[in-house]
Amino acid sequence: MKKTIPVIPMRGLTVLPTMVLHFDISREKSIKAVEAAMAEDQIIFLVTQQNPDDNNPGLRNLYSIGVAARIRNVAKLPRNIVRVMAEGLERGKLLGIEDCDGYLHARVETIRETETEYDDMTKLAMTRGLEELLKRYGQLNQKFGKEMLRQLLEIHDFEKLVMAVCVHLPLSYEQRQRLLEAEDMVDRYEQLCTMLVQEMEIIQIQNEIQQKVRERVDKNQREYVLREQMKLIQEELGEDTLLSEVDDYIQKAEELCASDEVKERIRKEAQRLKGLSGNSAESGVLRNYIETLLELPWEKMSEDNHDLKRAAEILDEDHYGLEKVKERVLEFLAVRSLTEKGDSPILCLVGPPGTGKTSIARSIARALDKKYVRISLGGVRDEAEIRGHRRTYVGAMPGRIAAGMRQAGVKNPLMLIDEVDKVSSDYKGDTSSALLEVFDSEQNCRFHDHYVELPIDLSQVMFIATANDASTIPRPLLDRMEVIELGSYTSNEKLHIAKRHLLQKQIERNGLKKSQLTITKTALAEMISGYTKEAGVRQLERQIGRICRKAAREILEDGAKNVRVSAKNLEEYLGRRRYTFQKRNSQNDIGIVRGLAWTSVGGDTLEIEVNTMPGKGELVLTGQLGDVMKESARAAVSYVRSLGEKYQIDPEFFTKNDLHIHIPEGAVPKDGPSAGVTMATAVLSATAEIPVRADVAMTGEITLRGRVLAIGGLKEKLLAAKQAGITTVIVPEENRADIAEIQDEIKEGMELVYVSTMREVLDTAFA
């Protein structure tokens, strides 16, 4: 018989016929299904989900066989939970499911039990076999109640006994589902017996394991008593024995250069180790902990180099440029020489990849004669990586800071915290917050590591952090560091770095001699401009490495004694030129203005284009613009509309025409406010039909009333303008102080026009 009744998908629970059970429901659809069933004949279909974690199961995630049940009682509990008492009636096959009226309707076909003919002797034999299995199961599983076992054994009807055992035996919902789907009583009986035998085997194996564990514990206890007795006998006889492991730890603690608090902790833990069995797990944990305390440099320090001239020579030898970093390090060294103490600075080097942030830290350590430790935090999510694990956990270990101190062996090393802007957080804690204590000079004199459990003095450590983008560093953490910006290298700086460092490094790395390879200055300049596009020199070093590998092959295969690479034959080694800088336009144009942009690989120029066309006054923006850039475009259009009368623009022009602003390259996402003045100039040029000078580039944020605000990344932008052949650059007046810090070689040959309003921009830009 087929019928349609409300359905409840059950999570981790399978109901059998004759089974009475309580279950809680909280899903809105299930509650409405119960209400619908109570309003009719109290019959509801209970079917089990295949995946209990699915909150909105469909027909595919439900078993095909369920049970029609009668609801006996419904009780409402707090937090929108409903407790239902139901009794299983008969099996049903789920034909379909439909979501209607806010709950699930199931089309169910009633399954009649297949009648199997078997004589009384067979029935009696199966009944006795099941009773025998139940007795053995009850003996093995002490948790199975004796009263329940007695009640089951009092049932002598075969079919009732099978169903009663299926209902009351502690089985998983998958096992009960298999019993529910059995074709007839004989099939259900065979599956039930198989499950009983499997459960008994599992219980027997568990009992054997527990017995072995008890025997091992008793053996360890006996060994401990005998060992203590043996120690007492040796003491009574006065026999001289070698220093035990514990005595060795205590002796090392006395010789350790540390405070009394640390020595007392080591002695205390060593005495605890003395009372443990040598093979116990806790003794291994204690050994590791004591050895960690003994290896940490509590009061051990190295002597810093105070020779300012030598330090300056080493820094200049290892790195070209980076004047701000070198100046700050020499200042620290001078203060340390005068005060003989001084707080160690916490520097944060911020700059694009490949600009020498990590390598400068190694050079500083060499210049100051400090031990060098590098800790990379890229992708670290667990707070325990910084503060260590508590010793109660299996496999506990100190955090990276304590491990770095242990590696350095002194309390005043130079510790490089690399990629500090790339730490992340998850449910295990906030890693960046754990660094607050490390980087706070007022707190890190007593840094707490969960594993060490004793305060570690980090005040003498010279921390240097590196980051690609300071904006992603949490503000409280950034506030504890002294930020030093490392900008992009100029072409001249890259050329000097390649000649002084990269070329020799790659020649040695590829097994060549200096006399076997010559790369001319013009070839290096061509590699910088045509084969690399970056802020640093990492890609340039790879290109030099490619030439060295090809030169090594020529020397081995062709027997060449010397390979000379110049600008003429550079393509033979590196292929065709990969990058070309977009040069300035040859003539003035309407609606086209050259803007300047900062990117992660240096500066670039953007040629902003504006077109007007008949329409309904819509503004179209293309070129993958971010939200900030879109807002700048709207502000620019609003400002231009306010100038309509001055430039004799038809008042209805902006309602009868559409404006289209496009910023190539269209495949590259762009964002930021610094293109505001450029877009305003281009829009006014297109609407008033006034040409814009081709030799002018500009940057600056625009306000609604035409004020020009400061922007960032000015050095990189001026570099891009110089490479594009721009002779006049418009920059905000507020950035005049930034211009003073930029090298003269970048500004040479360019006229810088400082502006504070859009009127000044237009006076310079319009031809």
Under the phi-then-psi rule, with left for phi > 0, alpha for psi from -120 to 50, and beta for the rest, what region is 648? left
Q: What's the total number of domains in the chain?
A: 6
Q: Are residues 172 and 317 in the same domain?
A: no
Q: Are 148 and 168 in contact (CB under 8 A)?
A: yes
pLDDT band at 635 (very low <50, low <70, confident <90, very high): very high
pLDDT per position as a tens digit, 64-81 = 888 888 888 888 888 888
Q: Which of 634, 650, 628 minimizes the C-alpha distance to 711?
A: 628
More confident residue, 737 or 162: 737
Residues 521 and 667 in one domain: no
| More reliable by pLDDT, 742 or 646 | 646
Q: Which is the catalytic residue, given 674, 685, 715, 722?
A: 674
Q: Which of 29, 371, 717, 722 is catalytic?
A: 717
| More confident: 585 or 205 | 205
Are 507 and 514 spatial neighbours (Cβ–Cβ below 8 Å)?
A: yes
Does residue 340 sit in the same domain as residue 461?
Answer: yes
pLDDT band at 44 (very low <50, low <70, confident <90, very high): confident
Mean pLDDT of the region 477-481: 87
Q: What angle do CA 518, 519, 520 make, to 5 degrees?
A: 115
Determine, yes or no, domain membership for 335. yes
Query: Which pair of structure tokens corresponds to residue 765?
Result: 């830009």
The predicted model gives 107-111 an average pLDDT of 81
Residue 602 pLDDT exceeds 70: no
Q: Confirm whether 281 is domain-assigned.
A: yes
Q: Taking 60 as the threshold, does the pLDDT of residue 138 lie above it? A: yes
Q: For residues 31 and 97, state if they share a domain.
A: yes
For position 206, what pLDDT does the model report? 82
Q: Residue range 147-157: average pLDDT?
A: 73
Indicate whether 582 belongs to any domain: no
523 domain residue, yes or no:
yes
> What mean pLDDT comes out for the span 661-684?
86
CATH of the domain at 508: 1.10.8.60
Is 302 assigned a catalytic role?
A: no
Residue-number span of the structural domain to which 191 is assigned: 122-204
Measured CA to CA, the distance from residue 409 to residue 413 in angstroms comes to 8
Q: Specify the CATH number for the domain of residue 166.
A: 1.20.58
Question: Does residue 216 form part of some domain?
Answer: no
Task: Return the DSSP state at 319.
Answer: -
In this model, does residue 276 exceed pLDDT 80? no
Shared domain for 94 and 138, answered yes or no, is no
Q: Which of 110, 138, 165 is the last residue of a domain?
A: 110
Domain's final residue, options 76, 110, 144: 110
| Residue 599 shares a structural domain with residue 725 | yes
Give φ, ψ of 230 to 5 degrees: -65, -40
Confidence of residue 238 (pLDDT cuts 50, 70, 90): very low
For residue 209, is it within any domain? no
| pLDDT value at residue 29 | 83
Q: For the chain, give me the number of helices (H) and strands (E)?
A: 28, 26
On whether both 427 and 338 belong to a single domain, the answer is: yes
| Straight-line distance from the first to the last Cα atom of the chain, in angstroms, rounded to the nearest whole number | 90
| 61 and 133 fall within a common domain | no
Residues 146 and 275 in one domain: no
Query: Does residue 391 sit in the same domain as residue 268?
Result: no
Cis amide prior to 665 (ω within 30 degrees): yes
Say if residue 241's pLDDT is above 50.
no
In a domain, 553, yes or no: yes
CATH number at residue 349: 3.40.50.300
Q: What is the pLDDT of residue 240?
A: 38
What CATH code is carried by the domain that includes residue 732? 3.30.230.10
> Which of 50, 85, 110 delimits the end of a domain?
110
pLDDT beyond 60 at 499: yes
Q: When comparing pLDDT for 406 and 275, which is higher?
A: 406
Q: State whether 479 and 517 are in the same domain.
A: no
Residue 479 lies in a domain: yes
Checking if the pLDDT of 339 tops 70, the result is: yes
Same domain flag for 467 and 520 = no
pLDDT of amino acid 732: 93
Would you state the pLDDT for residue 634? 92
CA dist list (Å): 744 to 319, 497, 706, 731, 736 = 20, 19, 31, 16, 14
Q: What gap in Å lies between CA 458 and CA 77, rounded to an integer?
A: 55
- Comparing 341-345, 527-531, 560-564, 759-763, the range with the smallest average pLDDT is 341-345
Mean pLDDT of the chain: 82
CA–CA dist 645, 640 (Å, integer): 10
Asked which of 333-347, 427-441, 600-614, 735-749 is least confident by mean pLDDT, the reply is: 333-347
* pTM > 0.85: yes or no: no
Distance CA 446, CA 452 (A): 12
Q: pLDDT category, 314, cuts 50, 70, 90? A: confident
Digit-coded pLDDT (tens) for 252-266:
888 888 888 888 888
The model's confidence at residue 242, banded by pLDDT at 50, 70 and 90, is very low
pLDDT of residue 239: 38
**Is 717 noted as a catalytic residue in this protein?**
yes
